[in-house]
Chains A and B, each alone.
Chain A
Protein backbone atom coordinates (compact mmCIF):
# COMPACT_ATOMS: atom_id res chain seq x y z
CA UNK A 1 0.00 0.00 0.00
CA UNK A 2 1.61 3.18 -1.12
CA UNK A 3 1.07 5.72 1.62
CA UNK A 4 -1.41 8.41 0.65
CA UNK A 5 -1.16 11.49 2.80
CA UNK A 6 -4.32 13.54 2.43
CA UNK A 7 -4.15 17.28 2.89
CA UNK A 8 -5.27 19.06 6.03
CA UNK A 9 -7.68 20.96 3.80
CA UNK A 10 -9.45 17.74 2.79
CA UNK A 11 -9.80 16.55 6.38
CA UNK A 12 -11.01 19.95 7.56
CA UNK A 13 -13.61 20.08 4.78
CA UNK A 14 -14.90 16.59 5.64
CA UNK A 15 -15.00 17.48 9.34
CA UNK A 16 -17.00 20.67 8.70
CA UNK A 17 -19.45 18.85 6.42
CA UNK A 18 -19.96 16.23 9.17
CA UNK A 19 -20.74 18.97 11.71
CA UNK A 20 -23.16 20.67 9.31
CA UNK A 21 -24.92 17.35 8.63
CA UNK A 22 -25.29 16.79 12.39
CA UNK A 23 -26.97 20.19 12.65
CA UNK A 24 -29.20 19.45 9.65
CA UNK A 25 -30.34 16.05 10.92
CA UNK A 26 -31.16 17.55 14.33
CA UNK A 27 -33.09 20.49 12.83
CA UNK A 28 -35.00 18.32 10.35
CA UNK A 29 -36.10 16.04 13.19
CA UNK A 30 -38.41 18.79 14.48
CA UNK A 31 -40.19 19.10 11.12
CA UNK A 32 -43.11 16.74 10.63
CA UNK A 33 -42.27 14.57 7.64
CA UNK A 34 -44.35 11.63 8.84
CA UNK A 35 -42.83 8.25 8.16
CA UNK A 36 -40.33 9.99 5.90
CA UNK A 37 -38.40 11.42 8.85
CA UNK A 38 -36.78 8.03 9.52
CA UNK A 39 -35.68 7.86 5.89
CA UNK A 40 -34.14 11.34 6.04
CA UNK A 41 -32.37 10.57 9.34
CA UNK A 42 -30.94 7.32 8.01
CA UNK A 43 -29.86 8.81 4.69
CA UNK A 44 -27.99 11.61 6.48
CA UNK A 45 -26.43 9.04 8.84
CA UNK A 46 -25.37 6.91 5.87
CA UNK A 47 -23.77 9.92 4.17
CA UNK A 48 -21.88 10.72 7.38
CA UNK A 49 -20.78 7.10 7.65
CA UNK A 50 -19.49 7.14 4.07
CA UNK A 51 -17.58 10.38 4.68
CA UNK A 52 -15.94 8.95 7.80
CA UNK A 53 -15.14 5.63 6.11
CA UNK A 54 -13.89 7.03 2.81
CA UNK A 55 -11.81 9.89 4.17
CA UNK A 56 -11.01 9.37 7.87
CA UNK A 57 -10.64 5.59 7.55
CA UNK A 58 -8.82 6.00 4.22
CA UNK A 59 -11.17 3.60 2.51
CA UNK A 60 -10.76 5.40 -0.81
CA UNK A 61 -7.06 4.42 -0.73
CA UNK A 62 -7.73 0.90 0.58
CA UNK A 63 -6.95 -2.32 -1.25
CA UNK A 64 -9.77 -4.05 -3.12
CA UNK A 65 -9.65 -6.83 -0.53
CA UNK A 66 -10.45 -4.41 2.30
CA UNK A 67 -13.23 -2.80 0.28
CA UNK A 68 -14.70 -6.20 -0.48
CA UNK A 69 -14.57 -7.21 3.19
CA UNK A 70 -16.31 -3.99 4.26
CA UNK A 71 -18.98 -4.55 1.62
CA UNK A 72 -19.34 -8.08 3.01
CA UNK A 73 -20.14 -6.64 6.42
CA UNK A 74 -23.13 -4.87 4.94
CA UNK A 75 -24.23 -7.97 3.07
CA UNK A 76 -24.37 -9.97 6.31
CA UNK A 77 -25.96 -7.10 8.19
CA UNK A 78 -28.57 -6.90 5.43
CA UNK A 79 -29.25 -10.65 5.72
CA UNK A 80 -29.69 -10.40 9.47
CA UNK A 81 -32.02 -7.38 9.31
CA UNK A 82 -34.00 -8.41 6.23
CA UNK A 83 -34.66 -12.02 7.13
CA UNK A 84 -35.49 -11.34 10.77
CA UNK A 85 -37.81 -8.47 9.92
CA UNK A 86 -39.40 -10.46 7.08
CA UNK A 87 -40.33 -12.99 9.74
CA UNK A 88 -41.38 -10.68 12.56
CA UNK A 89 -43.31 -8.17 10.46
CA UNK A 90 -45.36 -10.81 8.62
CA UNK A 91 -46.35 -12.91 11.62
CA UNK A 92 -49.85 -11.44 11.75
CA UNK A 93 -50.47 -11.95 8.06
CA UNK A 94 -50.43 -15.72 7.92
CA UNK A 95 -52.00 -18.13 10.36
CA UNK A 96 -49.97 -20.51 12.46
CA UNK A 97 -50.35 -24.11 11.25
CA UNK A 98 -51.92 -26.37 13.88
CA UNK A 99 -53.66 -23.59 15.75
Chain B
Protein backbone atom coordinates (compact mmCIF):
# COMPACT_ATOMS: atom_id res chain seq x y z
CA UNK B 1 0.00 0.00 0.00
CA UNK B 2 1.09 3.50 -0.72
CA UNK B 3 2.48 5.45 2.12
CA UNK B 4 -0.06 7.67 3.78
CA UNK B 5 0.99 11.27 3.82
CA UNK B 6 -1.55 11.84 6.55
CA UNK B 7 -4.00 9.97 8.69
CA UNK B 8 -7.32 9.58 6.88
CA UNK B 9 -10.47 11.15 8.24
CA UNK B 10 -13.86 12.25 6.89
CA UNK B 11 -12.56 15.78 6.60
CA UNK B 12 -9.34 14.70 4.92
CA UNK B 13 -9.37 11.75 2.55
CA UNK B 14 -6.17 10.22 1.32
CA UNK B 15 -6.28 11.76 -2.16
CA UNK B 16 -6.34 15.33 -0.87
CA UNK B 17 -3.42 17.30 0.51
CA UNK B 18 -5.40 19.40 2.92
CA UNK B 19 -8.92 19.51 4.34
CA UNK B 20 -9.30 22.89 2.71
CA UNK B 21 -8.55 21.42 -0.71
CA UNK B 22 -11.06 18.63 -0.16
CA UNK B 23 -13.76 21.09 0.86
CA UNK B 24 -13.07 23.27 -2.15
CA UNK B 25 -13.26 20.28 -4.48
CA UNK B 26 -16.60 19.19 -3.08
CA UNK B 27 -18.06 22.67 -3.25
CA UNK B 28 -16.80 23.20 -6.77
CA UNK B 29 -18.23 19.84 -7.87
CA UNK B 30 -21.65 20.86 -6.55
CA UNK B 31 -21.49 24.18 -8.39
CA UNK B 32 -20.63 22.39 -11.63
CA UNK B 33 -23.69 20.18 -11.14
CA UNK B 34 -25.84 23.24 -10.47
CA UNK B 35 -24.55 24.84 -13.68
CA UNK B 36 -25.77 21.84 -15.67
CA UNK B 37 -29.10 22.34 -13.91
CA UNK B 38 -29.17 25.96 -15.07
CA UNK B 39 -29.03 24.70 -18.65
CA UNK B 40 -31.57 21.96 -17.90
CA UNK B 41 -34.18 24.41 -16.60
CA UNK B 42 -32.96 27.01 -19.10
CA UNK B 43 -34.34 24.96 -21.97
CA UNK B 44 -37.80 25.04 -20.43
CA UNK B 45 -37.58 28.77 -19.76
CA UNK B 46 -36.58 29.21 -23.39
CA UNK B 47 -39.53 27.16 -24.66
CA UNK B 48 -41.84 29.17 -22.42
CA UNK B 49 -40.43 32.47 -23.72
CA UNK B 50 -40.89 31.45 -27.36
CA UNK B 51 -44.46 30.20 -27.02
CA UNK B 52 -45.50 33.04 -24.77
CA UNK B 53 -44.26 35.38 -27.46
CA UNK B 54 -46.07 33.42 -30.19
CA UNK B 55 -49.44 33.28 -28.38
CA UNK B 56 -49.36 36.31 -26.04
CA UNK B 57 -53.13 36.65 -25.59
CA UNK B 58 -53.91 33.03 -24.70
CA UNK B 59 -50.82 32.73 -22.53
CA UNK B 60 -51.89 35.90 -20.73
CA UNK B 61 -55.37 34.49 -20.09
CA UNK B 62 -54.02 31.14 -18.95
CA UNK B 63 -51.40 32.76 -16.74
CA UNK B 64 -53.93 34.97 -14.96
CA UNK B 65 -56.10 31.91 -14.28
CA UNK B 66 -53.43 30.79 -11.80
CA UNK B 67 -53.87 31.88 -8.19
CA UNK B 68 -51.18 34.54 -7.60
CA UNK B 69 -51.88 34.87 -3.88
CA UNK B 70 -51.29 31.17 -3.28
CA UNK B 71 -48.22 31.39 -5.50
CA UNK B 72 -46.83 34.32 -3.52
CA UNK B 73 -47.48 32.61 -0.18
CA UNK B 74 -45.79 29.46 -1.42
CA UNK B 75 -42.81 31.55 -2.56
CA UNK B 76 -42.62 32.91 0.98
CA UNK B 77 -42.71 29.36 2.39
CA UNK B 78 -39.82 28.38 0.15
CA UNK B 79 -37.80 31.46 1.09
CA UNK B 80 -38.36 30.61 4.77
CA UNK B 81 -37.08 27.10 4.10
CA UNK B 82 -33.96 28.60 2.52
CA UNK B 83 -33.47 30.67 5.64
CA UNK B 84 -33.78 27.64 7.94
CA UNK B 85 -31.43 25.73 5.63
CA UNK B 86 -28.75 28.39 5.85
CA UNK B 87 -29.22 28.39 9.61
CA UNK B 88 -28.63 24.62 9.58
CA UNK B 89 -25.42 25.15 7.63
CA UNK B 90 -24.39 27.82 10.11
CA UNK B 91 -25.10 25.49 13.02
CA UNK B 92 -22.97 22.86 11.28
CA UNK B 93 -20.12 25.34 10.83
CA UNK B 94 -20.25 25.95 14.57
CA UNK B 95 -20.58 22.23 15.30
CA UNK B 96 -23.91 22.57 17.11
CA UNK B 97 -25.51 19.17 16.58
CA UNK B 98 -28.90 19.92 18.14
CA UNK B 99 -29.31 23.16 16.20
CA UNK B 100 -28.45 21.37 12.94
CA UNK B 101 -31.20 18.83 13.58
CA UNK B 102 -33.79 21.45 14.56
CA UNK B 103 -33.12 23.60 11.49
CA UNK B 104 -33.03 20.61 9.14
CA UNK B 105 -36.41 19.45 10.45
CA UNK B 106 -37.83 22.96 9.97
CA UNK B 107 -36.46 23.04 6.42
CA UNK B 108 -37.96 19.65 5.68
CA UNK B 109 -41.35 20.70 7.08
CA UNK B 110 -41.40 23.93 5.06
CA UNK B 111 -40.40 21.99 1.95
CA UNK B 112 -43.28 19.59 2.53
CA UNK B 113 -45.69 22.51 3.05
CA UNK B 114 -44.57 23.89 -0.32
CA UNK B 115 -45.19 20.53 -1.99
CA UNK B 116 -48.57 20.24 -0.25
CA UNK B 117 -49.66 23.64 -1.56
CA UNK B 118 -48.37 22.66 -5.00
CA UNK B 119 -50.46 19.49 -4.87
CA UNK B 120 -53.49 21.59 -3.91
CA UNK B 121 -52.89 23.86 -6.91
CA UNK B 122 -52.48 20.91 -9.27
CA UNK B 123 -55.72 19.46 -7.95
CA UNK B 124 -57.43 22.77 -8.72
CA UNK B 125 -56.21 22.45 -12.31
CA UNK B 126 -57.70 18.96 -12.41
CA UNK B 127 -61.06 20.22 -11.17
CA UNK B 128 -61.00 23.07 -13.71
CA UNK B 129 -60.08 20.72 -16.59
CA UNK B 130 -56.82 22.60 -17.07
CA UNK B 131 -54.68 19.49 -17.31
CA UNK B 132 -53.59 18.97 -20.94
CA UNK B 133 -55.25 15.94 -22.45
CA UNK B 134 -58.58 14.64 -23.72
CA UNK B 135 -60.73 16.46 -21.13
CA UNK B 136 -58.85 19.76 -21.38
CA UNK B 137 -61.03 22.82 -21.65
CA UNK B 138 -60.03 26.44 -21.15
CA UNK B 139 -62.93 28.89 -20.97
CA UNK B 140 -63.14 32.10 -22.99
CA UNK B 141 -60.99 31.29 -25.99
CA UNK B 142 -61.26 29.30 -29.19
CA UNK B 143 -57.51 28.65 -29.13
CA UNK B 144 -57.52 25.46 -27.07
CA UNK B 145 -54.18 24.32 -28.53
CA UNK B 146 -52.07 27.25 -27.32
CA UNK B 147 -53.91 27.14 -23.97
CA UNK B 148 -52.91 23.49 -23.61
CA UNK B 149 -49.38 24.51 -24.49
CA UNK B 150 -49.31 26.95 -21.59
CA UNK B 151 -50.50 24.31 -19.15
CA UNK B 152 -48.13 21.70 -20.57
CA UNK B 153 -45.25 24.08 -19.87
CA UNK B 154 -46.75 24.97 -16.49
CA UNK B 155 -46.85 21.32 -15.45
CA UNK B 156 -43.44 20.52 -16.95
CA UNK B 157 -41.77 23.43 -15.16
CA UNK B 158 -43.52 23.23 -11.80
CA UNK B 159 -43.38 19.43 -11.97
CA UNK B 160 -39.66 19.33 -12.59
CA UNK B 161 -39.19 21.87 -9.82
CA UNK B 162 -41.32 19.78 -7.47
CA UNK B 163 -39.29 16.70 -8.37
CA UNK B 164 -36.18 18.59 -7.30
CA UNK B 165 -37.95 19.45 -4.04
CA UNK B 166 -38.78 15.78 -3.44
CA UNK B 167 -35.15 14.83 -4.05
CA UNK B 168 -34.14 17.68 -1.75
CA UNK B 169 -36.45 16.34 0.95
CA UNK B 170 -34.77 12.94 0.55
CA UNK B 171 -31.35 14.55 0.96
CA UNK B 172 -32.58 16.36 4.09
CA UNK B 173 -33.70 13.01 5.56
CA UNK B 174 -30.26 11.57 4.84
CA UNK B 175 -28.63 14.57 6.51
CA UNK B 176 -30.93 14.24 9.52
CA UNK B 177 -30.00 10.59 9.94
CA UNK B 178 -26.30 11.38 9.93
CA UNK B 179 -26.66 14.55 11.99
CA UNK B 180 -28.51 12.55 14.64
CA UNK B 181 -25.59 10.12 14.74
CA UNK B 182 -23.23 13.04 15.31
CA UNK B 183 -21.36 12.63 12.05
CA UNK B 184 -21.11 16.35 11.32
CA UNK B 185 -18.65 18.47 13.23
CA UNK B 186 -17.20 21.93 12.79
CA UNK B 187 -14.27 20.24 11.01
CA UNK B 188 -16.44 18.16 8.72
CA UNK B 189 -19.81 19.47 7.59
CA UNK B 190 -19.39 19.37 3.81
CA UNK B 191 -22.58 17.32 3.14
CA UNK B 192 -24.70 19.88 4.99
CA UNK B 193 -23.00 22.73 3.16
CA UNK B 194 -23.43 21.14 -0.26
CA UNK B 195 -27.03 20.08 0.33
CA UNK B 196 -27.59 23.72 1.26
CA UNK B 197 -26.28 24.82 -2.14
CA UNK B 198 -28.70 22.44 -3.84
CA UNK B 199 -31.65 23.57 -1.73
CA UNK B 200 -30.97 27.26 -2.40
CA UNK B 201 -30.57 26.58 -6.10
CA UNK B 202 -34.00 24.97 -6.25
CA UNK B 203 -35.27 28.06 -4.44
CA UNK B 204 -33.71 30.30 -7.11
CA UNK B 205 -35.48 28.34 -9.86
CA UNK B 206 -38.78 29.04 -8.14
CA UNK B 207 -37.86 32.72 -7.73
CA UNK B 208 -37.96 32.90 -11.55
CA UNK B 209 -40.84 30.47 -12.13
CA UNK B 210 -43.19 32.41 -9.85
CA UNK B 211 -43.18 35.78 -11.68
CA UNK B 212 -42.92 34.23 -15.15
CA UNK B 213 -45.82 31.82 -14.70
CA UNK B 214 -48.07 33.71 -12.28
CA UNK B 215 -47.42 37.42 -12.52
CA UNK B 216 -46.26 39.01 -15.75
CA UNK B 217 -49.64 39.11 -17.49
CA UNK B 218 -51.70 39.98 -14.47
CA UNK B 219 -51.92 43.70 -15.20
CA UNK B 220 -53.89 42.96 -18.40
CA UNK B 221 -56.87 41.63 -16.50
Residues of the A chain whose Cβ atoms lie less than 8 Å from the Cβ of B90:
5-6, 8, 11
Q: Is the CB of B42 within 8 A of A77?
A: yes
0/1 interface trace, chain A 48-68, chain B, CB 8 Å (1 if under)? 110011011100001101100
Q: How far is the CA of A52 from the CA of B201 in the complex (A)?
A: 8
With CB as the reference atom, state the residue of chain B lying closest to A39: B216
List chain A positions with a Cβ less than 8 A from chain B.
1-3, 5-6, 8, 11-12, 14-15, 18-19, 22-23, 25-26, 29-34, 37-38, 41-42, 44-45, 48-49, 52-53, 55-57, 62-63, 65-66, 69-70, 72-74, 76-77, 80-81, 84-85, 88-89
Residues of the B chain whose Cβ atoms lie less than 8 Å from the Cβ of A48:
204, 207
The 4 closest A-B pairs by CB, nearest first: A41-B211, A29-B215, A15-B83, A73-B35
B80, B197, B207: the one within 8 Å of A45 (CB): B207
For window 186-221 of chain B, which residues contact chain A by CB distance below 8 Å? 196-197, 200-201, 203-204, 207-208, 210-212, 214-216, 218-220
Q: How far is the CA of A29 from the CA of B76 in the complex (A)?
A: 16
Q: Is the CB of A44 within 8 A of B219?
A: no
Q: What is the interface of chain A mostly: helix, strand, loop, or mixed?
A: helix
Q: What is the interface of chain B mostly: helix, strand, loop, or mixed?
A: helix
Q: Is the CB of A85 within 8 A of B50?
A: yes
Q: Is the CB of A44 within 8 A of B211?
A: yes
Q: Is the CB of A3 within 8 A of B93?
A: yes
Q: Is the CB of A37 within 8 A of B219?
A: yes
Q: How far is the CA of A25 from the CA of B94 in the complex (A)?
A: 35
Q: Is the CB of B86 within 8 A of A11?
A: yes
Q: How far is the CA of A56 from the CA of B215 in the complex (A)?
A: 25
| A80-B46 CB under 8 A given contacts A29-B68, A29-B216, A48-B207 | yes
CB distance from A82 to the nearest CB of B (A): 10
With CB as the reference atom, state the residue of chain B lying closest to A3: B93
Q: Is the CB of B207 within 8 A of A49?
A: yes
CB distance from B155 to the nearest CB of A (A): 21
Q: How far is the CA of A25 from the CA of B206 in the complex (A)?
A: 14
Q: Is the CB of A49 within 8 A of B204?
A: yes
With CB as the reference atom, state the residue of chain A lying closest to B51: A88
CB distance from A78 to the nearest CB of B (A): 10
Residues of the B chain whose Cβ atoms lie less than 8 Å from the Cβ of A5:
90, 93-94
Residues of the A chain whose Cβ atoms lie less than 8 Å from the Cβ of B34:
73
Residues of the B chain whose Cβ atoms lie less than 8 Å from the Cβ of A37:
215-216, 218-219
Residues of the B chain whose Cβ atoms lie less than 8 Å from the Cβ of A52:
82, 200, 203-204, 207
With CB as the reference atom, state the residue of chain A lying closest to B38: A73
Q: How far is the CA of A73 from the CA of B12 in the complex (A)?
A: 29
B46, B210, B218: the one within 8 Å of A30 (CB): B218
13 more contacts with CB within 8 A, not counting A5-B94, A76-B35, are A1-B27, A15-B80, A29-B218, A48-B204, A49-B204, A52-B200, A52-B204, A53-B200, A56-B200, A63-B24, A76-B39, A80-B42, A81-B42
